[in-house]
Chain A
Amino acid sequence: SAVISQKPSRDICQRGTSLTIQCQVDSQVTMMFWYRQQPGQSLTLIATANQGSEATYESGFVIDKFPISRPNLTFSTLTVSNMSPEDSSIYLCSVGGQGWTGELFFGEGSRLTVL
């Protein structure tokens, strides 16, 4: 299993500002995933972050809005840029288990409210 720490756990932000979410894993992992969980909606993958290369974004998500860094095998950041109330959501960092079994380990999430 993997232990994932996310910061901040929650924040209230003003429209037009940007916020960076940090994700720290207790072991080295190749792929890290960033998800968004909006109220009443399914978990939606924003991007996959591989160390040493640019993140791969899913349809509907762009690098200018959600820049991601992956400086090493245990750490990643997601920035939500130029926020609007529609960005109010829970953002979750995730990693896969050893050997593909379909299991994902999640952090506790960062709950953002944009006013």
Chain B
Amino acid sequence: QKEVEQDPGPLSVPEGAIVSLNCTYSNSAFQYFMWYRQYSRKGPELLMYTYSSGNKEDGRFTAQVDKSSKYISLFIRDSQPSDSATYLCAMTLGGSYIPTFGRGTSLIVHP
């Protein structure tokens, strides 16, 4: 079993839809949780960063962490074609600089 599981998709949705992207993990020692967005032929860029269980909102994006279930989610409201990208979850142990990444989920938002 991989430490971080993420469905690669692709996930195809119409413009305006609410998107839910998810990751599960096996190591309960993970403390910091991140979502990166990667456009085609570009490097990943950090979207959201959370530490504790619960929700964190930033514009149309909401990151949710459930440490008891070892489950994290990224919600995108009012999705736009410009949101089409691969979304990678990542998490780190306390005191570590090195995140463990999921495989990434390919999201396609069609007009």
* Residues of chain A lying within 8 A (CB to CB) of residue B46: 102-104
Task: Say whether A42 contacts B4, CB under 8 Å.
Answer: yes
Task: Say whether B43 contacts A102, CB under 8 Å.
Answer: no
Interface residues of A (CB under 8 A from B): 4, 31, 33, 40-45, 48, 92, 94, 96, 100-109, 111
> With A41-B103, A42-B88, A106-B44 in contact, do A101 and B49 touch (Cβ < 8 Å)?
yes
- Kindly report which residue of chain B lies nearest to residue A48, judged by CB atoms: B98
What bracket does the count of chain B residues touching chain A fall in? 20 to 34
Count of inter-chain pairs, beta carbons less than 8 A: 54
What CA separation (Å) do A45 and B101 show in the bound complex?
Answer: 10
Interface residues of B (CB under 8 A from A): 2, 4, 6, 8, 32, 34, 41-46, 49, 88, 90, 92, 97-104
* Residues of chain B lying within 8 A (CB to CB) of residue A44: 101
- Kindly report which residue of chain B lies nearest to residue A96, judged by CB atoms: B97
Task: Using A42-B102, A102-B99, A109-B42 as known contacts, list a sample of 8 further A-B pairs with CB atoms less than 8 Å apart, ordered by residue number in A.
Answer: A40-B8, A42-B100, A42-B101, A42-B104, A92-B44, A102-B32, A106-B45, A108-B43
Determine chain B's interface SS by DSSP, over half rule. Answer: loop
Determine chain A's interface SS by DSSP, over half rule. Answer: strand
* Residues of chain B lying within 8 A (CB to CB) of residue A33: 98
| Distance to closest chain A CB from B27 (angstroms) | 14
* Residues of chain B lying within 8 A (CB to CB) of residue A4: 43
What CA separation (Å) do A44 and B8 show in the bound complex?
Answer: 16
What CA separation (Å) do A34 and B107 show in the bound complex?
Answer: 26
- Kindly report which residue of chain A lies nearest to residue B51, judged by CB atoms: A102
What CA separation (Å) do A8 and B46 show in the bound complex?
Answer: 24
* Residues of chain A lying within 8 A (CB to CB) of residue B41: 108-109, 111
| Distance to closest chain A CB from B65 (angstroms) | 13
> With A43-B101, A45-B98 in contact, do A103 and B34 touch (Cβ < 8 Å)?
yes
Task: Say whether A92 contacts B43, CB under 8 Å.
Answer: yes
- Most central of A4, A96, A102 by chain B CB within 10 Å: A102
Task: Say whether B103 contacts A102, CB under 8 Å.
Answer: no
* Residues of chain A lying within 8 A (CB to CB) of residue B2: 42
